[in-house]
A and B are shown apart, each in its own frame.
Chain A
Amino acid sequence: DSGVTQTPKHLITATGQRVTLRCSPRSGDLSVYWYQQSLDQGLQFLIQYYNGEERAKGNILERFSAQQFPDLHSELNLSSLELGDSALYFCASSRYRVPNTEAFFGQGTRLTVV
């Protein structure tokens, strides 16, 4: 158990819909990272938040957005969903703005768009 909690574990929704994925980081961790893993793209970095502020942005679509709340949990919002958005979405956390050691990953949310 990494200490990072992601909910829900599974999500099935229709094209055009909007969903919210939730991540609770390890106690004391200030950075949260979101990654997308699809079969053909591997693990892709989406976005990082540190202590409530956006820190780095990767290959995140404009239809996707994220935020980190004062209690440090984070949400990833995916809208106007397309079939190609079906993937595993991982959240990771680390203690510092720039991790000097390791990042801890949650078990992921499997999103299926039908």
Chain B
Amino acid sequence: DAKTTQPPSMDCAEGRAANLPCNHSTISGNEYVYWYRQIHSQGPQYIIHGLKNNETNEMASLIITEDRKSSTLILPHATLRDTAVYYCIVRVNGEGSQGNLIFGKGTKLSVKP
């Protein structure tokens, strides 16, 4: 079962920042937070991941709370092409763990003009 809770849907105006929350209150110390998105039945696409520090790349920023029980994915300037289902996943890295991703239901983000 997925270890995360996300709102089922969110709307965002084009050009504005999209802030997608994720709760992972049972996260363990060695579990990373990953974000993927899936645009209309295409293959899921990796966005970003982090352990406890905030992370930023060309696609998004990931803000993880100090207690690591929740995080927020930020798309700084959402476009219509960012309309997708966004999945927040927690997973252990390193030897001894399985590499598969456990997807929940995600958040359906609709970017509107």
By a beta-carbon cutoff of 8 Å, the part of chain A in contact with chain B is 2, 4, 31, 33, 35, 42-45, 48, 50, 55-56, 58, 88, 90, 92, 94, 96-108, 110
Q: Is the interface of A mostly helix, strand, loop or mixed?
A: strand
With most chain B CB atoms within 10 A of its CB, the pick from A50, A55, A92, A106 is A92
Contacts of B101 in A (CB 8 A): 33, 45, 92, 103
- Tell whether, in the assembled complex, residue B99 and residue A56 are in contact, meaning their CB atoms are under 8 Å apart: yes
By a beta-carbon cutoff of 8 Å, the part of chain B in contact with chain A is 34, 38, 41-46, 49, 87, 93-106
Contact A45 to B102, CB < 8 A, known contacts A98-B93, A98-B95, A102-B49? yes
Sample 24 A-B pairs with CB under 8 A, ordered by A number.
A2-B45, A4-B43, A31-B99, A35-B103, A42-B104, A44-B103, A45-B101, A48-B98, A50-B99, A55-B99, A56-B99, A90-B43, A96-B99, A97-B99, A98-B94, A98-B98, A99-B99, A100-B93, A101-B49, A102-B34, A102-B49, A103-B46, A103-B99, A108-B43
In the assembled complex, the Cα of A53 lies from the Cα of B67 at a distance in Å of 38
In the assembled complex, the Cα of A4 lies from the Cα of B46 at a distance in Å of 13
Min Cβ gap A38→B in Å is: 12
In the assembled complex, the Cα of A103 lies from the Cα of B46 at a distance in Å of 7
